[in-house]
A and B are shown apart, each in its own frame.
Chain A
Amino acid sequence: MKAFTYYKVNSVPKAVSLLAKYGEKAAILAGGSDLFGIMKDRPEGPKFKMPQRLIDIKGIKDLNYIKDRKGSLKIGAAATLSEIVSSDLIREKYPLLAHAAAQVGVPQIRNVGTLAGNLCQRPRCWYFRRSLFTDCLRKGGGTCYALDGENQYHAVIGGNGCCMVYPSDMAPALIALNARVEIATAKGTKMVPLEQFYVGPRTNLLRENILSPQEMVVTVEIPKPAAGNKGVYVKLKERDAFDFALVSVAVSLTRKGNMAVNPRVVFGGIAPVPLRSIRAEAVLNGKDLKVAIPEACKAAMDGAHPLKNNGYKVDAARGVLEQALGLLA
């Protein structure tokens, strides 16, 4: 890595004041798993430069907690994925979350990787992540190398403009659980539904979420699930021991007898954002779950536009949804 200035701060206002001062030239450092990979490879483009200042937030005590507050779950941005996996509170009351966290990376990653870091990771696209491809759209250039290139891992839905995929395992699970994120700015904090936190390439080609360079995620809040709520996360990987999702799905629903009520279906690995399938949810809602599975799986991939090498993802996405719903039926 090239030299940078390192800050270790002990409060959110200090971190945010540094972000306000240095903007895009600074980056928040927590687990560093994604950040250091990029900083070592230096895949720069016209509008994508390496940060010159890293703000280490691990020393901020206010950011490192998992607690039950008035029935909802609050997790600090710097809580590690290992802490989430091993939290009795989460395992007991939010099993979908523990289940998804256990499937992120490997022990070495989860021991340092944080929840907010997982939610703010940069795109998975080998053209974005290689220094050779400087004209990449997402770096501010004019070319999508993946459209005519090697695109077996790219988006099958919503990829107009940039067909990278958003790789987070935690985001689908948290959106299925209707989570909100608290964002700190120099002027205070704001709460945003996680579903609205992510933006596709037509909204912003250069960023995957609504955070401005002056803002940071400080808390994730998950409302208490309804009585009878069940959830599951299914992740398909090319290499089972350790890999990003080819496709994944988080499903949360409430069972009333045989019926599925208020289902939420969120895919990972198939679009530039964690993708909620409103169509599949509509098919499932209020129906006998076992009966509705085939139609829901079909509806989930309506509108998919696979590229040359990733047609399998359409079938795979239907397959993981079928598996997930089967586990809940």
Chain B
Amino acid sequence: MSEKEQEPREDENKEKQSRMNVSRRGFLKGVGTGAVSVALTGVPLVLPPDAADAAEALAAGVKESTVRLNVNGAAYRVKVKSHWTLLEVLRREMALTGSKKICDRGSCGACTVLMDGKPIYACSRLAIEMDGKTITTIEGLADGETPHPIQSAFMQNDGFQCGFCTSGFIMSTKGLLDKNPRPNSDEIKEALSGNICRCSAYRKILASAKAATQKG
């Protein structure tokens, strides 16, 4: 996937800034007004000038930091608190609400995203741990208005009922098929074992994943 080869680069035109957070560039632009309040409140600037300084700051302990991450092919710099989960940052700070928050305890799978190609529970990882990682969410699958073949397979096979768990099931399927394009039924069941569907549409979910394997 080309999106995974794309490294976050500060000078890149595609670089997006989280709207609600101060990035280094955004901070410098707004320095005339911003610096005063920062100085008055005594909040340390967690905007390290380079990676070595950032590593030093992280080794000394931080309560917030700026993480560089590639999400769905675009490079981001996001200022995060240490205790924010990846899921919270994706949904709240980056407005990527396709990954769902249900149990928030690493049990239901609705928050499944790919980290460097591997399915993980975004609710059970800190955003601050994600510096330099490549994340793929459900928003990264479709090509414009054209659904990804896995999404099409779920639609054509009614692989959902209420749909709230669906993005997680699709991301688990994506993680499987990227690694193993022709899985057997047991491999599909194993790959989807970390996702729960409370409507119990499992039969059609498995049929959808099976259909997706036949498109590749």
Q: In the complex, what residues of B have CB within 8 A of residue A54's CB?
A: 82
Q: Does B9 contact A (CB under 8 A)?
A: no
Given A33-B106, A112-B121, 15 more pairs with CB closer than 8 A: A1-B83, A6-B63, A6-B65, A8-B129, A10-B55, A36-B106, A37-B124, A53-B61, A105-B194, A107-B175, A107-B193, A108-B120, A108-B121, A109-B121, A241-B193
Interface residues of A (CB under 8 A from B): 1-10, 14, 32-33, 36-37, 40-41, 53-54, 56, 58, 82, 105-109, 111-112, 241-242
Nearest CB on A from B80, distance (A): 10
What is the size category of the interface that chain B forms with chain A? 35 or more
Nearest CB on B from A48, distance (A): 18
Interface residues of B (CB under 8 A from A): 55, 58-63, 65, 81-83, 85, 104-107, 109, 112, 115, 118-121, 124-126, 128-129, 172, 175, 189-191, 193-194
* Beta-carbon nearest neighbor of A14 in chain B: B59
Partner of A58, one of B129, B172, B194: B129
Query: A109 and B58 in contact (CB under 8 A), knowing A3-B63, A4-B82, A32-B125?
Result: no
> Whole-angstrom distance between the alpha carbons of A249 and B136 in the complex?
38
- A106–B193 CB distance below 8 A: yes
* Beta-carbon nearest neighbor of A22 in chain B: B61
Partner of A8, one of B59, B85, B172: B59
- B128–A6 CB distance below 8 A: yes
Partner of B81, one of A3, A9, A105, A112: A3
- B63–A112 CB distance below 8 A: no
Residue from B60, B65, B189, B194 having most chain A Cβ neighbours under 10 A: B194
- B119–A8 CB distance below 8 A: no
- A8–B55 CB distance below 8 A: yes
Q: In the complex, what residues of B have CB within 8 A of residue A33's CB?
A: 106, 124
Partner of A1, one of B58, B85, B115: B85
- A108–B109 CB distance below 8 A: yes
Query: A40 and B82 in contact (CB under 8 A), knowing A6-B126, A9-B59?
Result: no
- A3–B83 CB distance below 8 A: yes
Nearest CB on B from A162, distance (A): 23
Q: In the complex, what residues of A have CB within 8 A of residue B172's CB?
A: 107-108
* Beta-carbon nearest neighbor of A54 in chain B: B82
15 pairs, CB–CB < 8 Å, chain A vs chain B: A1-B83, A1-B85, A3-B82, A3-B83, A4-B63, A6-B61, A7-B60, A33-B106, A33-B124, A36-B124, A41-B105, A56-B129, A107-B190, A107-B191, A108-B109
> Whole-angstrom distance between the alpha carbons of A296 and B172 in the complex?
42
Nearest CB on A from B145, distance (A): 29
- B104–A40 CB distance below 8 A: yes
> Whole-angstrom distance between the alpha carbons of A16 and B104 in the complex?
30
> Whole-angstrom distance between the alpha carbons of A33 and B81 in the complex?
19
Q: In the complex, what residues of A have CB within 8 A of residue B121's CB?
A: 108-109, 112
- A107–B119 CB distance below 8 A: yes
- A7–B61 CB distance below 8 A: yes
* Beta-carbon nearest neighbor of B54 in chain A: A8
> Whole-angstrom distance between the alpha carbons of A116 and B73 in the complex?
33
- A108–B106 CB distance below 8 A: yes
- A108–B112 CB distance below 8 A: yes
Query: A32 and B124 in contact (CB under 8 A), knowing A40-B105, A106-B193?
Result: yes
- B59–A10 CB distance below 8 A: yes
> Whole-angstrom distance between the alpha carbons of A234 and B126 in the complex?
33
* Beta-carbon nearest neighbor of B168 in chain A: A108
Query: A111 and B120 in contact (CB under 8 A), knowing A7-B61, A8-B59?
Result: yes
Q: In the complex, what residues of B have CB within 8 A of residue A32's CB?
A: 124-126, 129
- B118–A82 CB distance below 8 A: yes
Partner of A7, one of B58, B126, B175, B190: B58
> Whole-angstrom distance between the alpha carbons of A6 and B112 in the complex?
24
Partner of B119, one of A4, A40, A108, A242: A108
Nearest CB on B from A122, distance (A): 14
Residue from A8, A33, A58 having most chain B Cβ neighbours under 10 A: A8
Nearest CB on B from A3, distance (A): 5
> Whole-angstrom distance between the alpha carbons of A269 and B185 in the complex?
29
Nearest CB on B from A234, distance (A): 17
Q: In the complex, what residues of A have CB within 8 A of residue B65's CB?
A: 6
> Whole-angstrom distance between the alpha carbons of A62 and B12 in the complex?
34
* Beta-carbon nearest neighbor of A9 in chain B: B59
Query: A242 and B194 in contact (CB under 8 A), knowing A7-B58, A108-B112?
Result: yes
